Amino acid sequence: MPFGNIGIGGLILILIIALIIFGPSKLPELGRAFGRTLSEFKVATRGLVNGDEEENPKDAATSASTVSKPKS
């Protein structure tokens, strides 16, 4: 089983409870947010394990575009 001791029945129960609590319109948004958070965590963890102290190229481009430019 890929999910440890939870099993299919447990996953279905968790899904039903989440559906009742958050509603069907909010679940896709929560899934996307969870996926983004998990991917950011993986990238940060990979950077720590590899000893990379540099910013991601994607993050560097984002931070460079948000820096205010002096007015002439």
Residue range 15-25, pLDDT digits in tens: 899 889 988 88
pTM of the model as a whole: 0.47
Residue range 26-57, pLDDT digits in tens: 888 988 999 999 999 999 999 888 876 555 55
Burial, 7: exposed, middle or buried (Cβ in 10 Å; 0-12, 13-18, 19+)?
exposed
Domain ranges of the chain: 24-50
Identity at 37, one-letter amino acid code = T
Report the alpha-carbon distance of residue 32 to residue 3 in Å, rounded. Answer: 20
- Contact assessment for residue 16 and residue 8, using Cβ atoms and an 8 Å cutoff: no
What region does 51 belong to: left with phi over 0, alpha with psi -120 to 50, or beta? Answer: left
